[in-house]
Amino acid sequence: MKNRLFQAYKQAPWRVQLQWIGLFMVCVVLISAITSVYLSINSQAATAGREIQSLEYQISTMNDEISELTADLAEAKSTEKYRAKAESLGFKLLNPANAVYLEVPGYDPDADLVLAPPRVNLISEFPIVQSSYKSSLWDWFVENIWQVSSRSTESQGEVLP
Amino acid sequence: MKPLYFPRYIIITLICGIIGIAIVVQMIRINYSDTAQDLLAKSSDYQGVEELVYPARGNIYDRSGNILATNQVAYELGIDLKFVNDPESIAFAVASLFEDLEYDEVYELANIETDEDENRYFVLASYVSEEKIIELEQLEETYQERRSEAHSLIPSLEGLVWTSMQQRTYPEDSLAANVLGFYNYFSRETAQGVYGVEEAYNSLLTGKPEKIFMANDPYLVEALPDINPGASLILTIDREIQAMVEETLAEAIEWSGAEGGTIIVSDPETGEILAMAGTPVFDPNEYWEYEETFPSPTPYNKAIGTTYEPGSVFKVITMAAALDSGVADLDTTYTDATGVYWVDGSWPIYNWDSGAWGEQDMTGCMQHSLNVCLAYIACDLLEEDLFYEYIQAFGFGRSTGIDLAGEANFPLRLPEDNEWVSLDLATNSFGQGIAVTPIQMVAAVSAIANEGKIMMPHIVRSVVDQDQQYNITPQLINSPISAETAETLTQMLTVTLQEESSNALVDGYSLAGKTGTAEIPTEYGYTSTTTNTSFVGWGPSDDPKFVVYVWLEEPAISTWGSEVAAPVFQDVVEQLVVLMKIPPDEIRLELSSGPGS
């Protein structure tokens, strides 16, 4: 059998060449595939990078706009501007003798201004580190065995509909 | 048998091998050459730069949330020589928009020849307004149209670049400037708050600058870390009261011809400062004019930074000590037979009018502001140990600890000091020979208006940091007198104001207070031609909600506190009760005794 196969290759050497060509083509296809995957990932990474840069720029621009608008608003609401506007609308300073006082239940003129929520206690009532991270391997094993056995006991006692 | 073309194969293989080896050798050589090192260094520059990013400085609000200090966007204008192709247009544009930049100067900078790989940047102007930048953008658009019409590369502003930066701004201009201080922002590296809240809370307001790698290489780009802005402050200052007090002070100075002055309004129960006005007036938006406005040794904030002899307002403290220690009560009398009190038989003390007022009880001594009576109380009843013990308990001789930069303090001269003489005890009793700051006077008097307790005077009510608000709890400094003494003294000073039909009285409101007229010490002794006048008062007498202190420096129209400072106090209180929504006593008592109270 071996001699017949050898004979066949010897009589038709193009079969060997075909094998080599096939092997070469497989390598080319493999390299092309890897290269295209590499290129694709790189281009996506570059695009994502550019998008991040663009978003960071937008954040920066919007922060600038917020600052500018805050400053504009503060200036528009300044005492001098308010007074000028009130006078242009015909308002006059109150004469204390003409003041009328009303009792408004629940109104506290000296209430604290709240610009942000008050400080909260950062110590959680639940443990941050789970017990499984603090127990020894033996403790963990026993605990899990216990849980599994208790679950199976519970399921045995269940009344199915 | 060897194939026919075997030698050719060998030759081709050798040639390819040699070429391959040559390529590898060349690659190694290039990698370790100087040029390669330069290229590597440049490539790392192109990858990105490490920048120190400064967080936005925190805002400052008044107690109602009105902004007193914030940041606005300004721009840095510069020339990046790498991109300049039309220096004439750049120089023309810049010189026509900025008065302080000359055409020749900008042209010279824009025309500097650089190597291709040289990166040169020049700053032309800092803190340029947005309006100017918009004008530049419009000009560039016009140039662009002209370029496309003429199919030319000029005119062009390419190479003229602007980058945004934060600039401190005070939207209320000079309002509360003496409290706020200012922020000298021109040099970003050395910028810091100066005076007032800006200096006292500089580190909180500034936040923490962080070094951040700003990648140019898209493969290295990551989301920038959030940089927390500086903490914001909510002050105890009420913008409306502050504006009213500043306006009243300006009118008072104009009316009285005073050299300067200060007015403080505080809440005695908490120590919160509701308003603090002083001269000279200063706009922190133009902080570079500081030295012109405050020639040395003018303090930035007179209310905390200037020491002076308080005069008769100090009699309130002496009387409080006498009543609280029990050496005197309301029925204690003093007979002023000659109008003179002799200290150690050597130094005479006279009344303000040099007259004798006969037998007076303690209310009479305060009502007629008798120096001889108060000297008698200090020297004969209290004596030095008790007197100075009370003076120190009221906080004189040390800083109040108010959270503002620039507080002054004049050390108290005590009996154990070599410079102290027994005359000091007599003169100190009526506010001469002792130096205090207006804020020390307000803190001390607050004890009488607040059941004998002195609260720490403070300006900051809350701090807002990283989206959490921390409210400041008022702190008790000391309780120099009992609540009973405080109430007795308040009643006494209410009666004295009413009986003398003082210029300080306000219709419908019971007020307690005391005038002050202080001679000014000079190197040649005391001058009687000019005085410092003051008035300290609080109300409503039965439940004090405010303490108002008025101090006017060397008024021209009169030398007496009762004629100059008292009417100013009245003017302030008339408006203050409206702004603080305090009804007249009759209505207030009616409301508080109502069914829902």
What confidence tens digit (pLDDT) does each residue in B308-319 have? Answer: 999 999 999 999
Last residue of a domain, one of B126, B147, B169: B169
Report pLDDT for B597.
44
Last residue of a domain, one of B169, B199, B225: B169
Read off the pLDDT of residues B194-236 as tens digits, 9 standing for 90 and up: 999 999 999 999 988 888 888 878 888 877 888 889 999 999 9
Nearest residue to B510 via CA among B485, B551, B543, B550: B543
Would B314 be classed as within a structural domain? yes
Would B27 be classed as within a structural domain? no
Would B178 be classed as within a structural domain? no
Last residue of a domain, one of B139, B169, B199: B169
My answer on whether B255 and B161 are in the same domain is no
Read off the pLDDT of residues A3-62 as tens digits, 9 standing for 90 and up: 776 776 677 777 788 888 999 999 999 999 999 999 999 899 889 888 988 998 899 889
Phi, psi of B118 (to 5 degrees): -90, 135
ipTM for the whole complex: 0.79
My answer on whether B401 and B510 are in the same domain is yes
Read off the pLDDT of residues A88-127 as tens digits, 9 standing for 90 and up: 999 988 887 788 888 888 888 778 888 887 766 555 555 5
Among partner residues B224, B507, B578, which is closest to A94 by beta-carbon distance?
B578
Nearest residue to B295 via CA among B309, B310, B308, B282: B282
**8 Å CB contact between B57 and B233:** no
Read off the pLDDT of residues B94-125 as tens digits, 9 standing for 90 and up: 998 888 888 888 888 888 876 655 667 788 88
Among partner residues A52, A115, A117, which is closest to B232 by beta-carbon distance?
A115
My answer on whether B456 and B317 are in the same domain is yes
Read off the pLDDT of residues B72-89 as tens digits, 9 standing for 90 and up: 998 888 888 878 888 899
My answer on whether B142 and B249 are in the same domain is no
Task: Flag if A56 and B470 touch (Cβ within 8 Å).
Answer: no
Would B341 be classed as within a structural domain? yes
Would B81 be classed as within a structural domain? yes
Give yes or no for a cis peptide into B297 (omega within 30° of 0).
yes
My answer on whether B271 and B158 are in the same domain is no
Report pLDDT for B477.
93
Would B14 be classed as within a structural domain? no
Mean pLDDT of chain A: 81
My answer on whether B345 and B494 are in the same domain is yes
Read off the pLDDT of residues B398-411 as tens digits, 9 standing for 90 and up: 999 999 998 999 99
Q: Which residue has the higher pLDDT, A9 or B458?
A: B458
Among partner residues B234, B507, B577, which is closest to A115 by beta-carbon distance?
B234
Segment B314-342 shows an average pLDDT of 93
Domain interval for residue B368 = 239-293+302-592
Q: Distance between CA B31 and CA B11 in Å, rounded? A: 30
Nearest residue to B444 via CA among B494, B408, B390: B390
Q: Could you give the C-alpha distances from B167 to A65, B164, B201, B202, B285, in angstroms and in order? A: 13, 10, 18, 15, 10
- The chain A residue lying nearest B244, using CA atoms, is A79
Interface of B with A in 89-128 (CB under 8 A): none
Report pLDDT for A156.
53
Task: Flag if A115 and B171 touch (Cβ within 8 Å).
Answer: no
The domain total for chain B is 2
My answer on whether B154 and B255 are in the same domain is no
**8 Å CB contact between B259 and B84:** no
My answer on whether B438 and B354 are in the same domain is yes
My answer on whether B119 and B261 are in the same domain is no
Task: Flag if A115 and B72 touch (Cβ within 8 Å).
Answer: no
CATH number at residue B397: 3.40.710.10
My answer on whether B468 and B547 are in the same domain is yes
Report pLDDT for A161.
39
Distance from CA of A131 to the nearest CA of B (A): 31
Residues of chain B neighbouring A111 (CB-CB closer than 8 A) = none
Segment B568-580 shows an average pLDDT of 94
Would B466 be classed as within a structural domain? yes
Would you call B421 an interface residue with chain A, using a CB distance cutoff of 8 Å?
Answer: no
Segment B519-547 shows an average pLDDT of 87
Report pLDDT for B395.
95
Give the mutation candidate from A73, A75, A81, A122 for the B interface (greatest B CB count, under 10 A).
A75
Which pLDDT band, with edges at 50, 70 and 90, does B166 fall under? confident
My answer on whether B285 and B425 are in the same domain is yes
**8 Å CB contact between B121 and B150:** no
Max mean pLDDT among A63-67, B97-101, B572-576 falls in B572-576
Residues of chain A neighbouring B570 (CB-CB closer than 8 A) = none
My answer on whether B164 and B253 are in the same domain is no
Would B9 be classed as within a structural domain? no
Task: Flag if B469 and A74 touch (Cβ within 8 Å).
Answer: no
Joined tokens for residue B550: 């008025």
Burial class (CB in 10 A: 0-12, 13-18, 19+), B164: middle
Which pLDDT band, with edges at 50, 70 and 90, does B479 fall under? very high
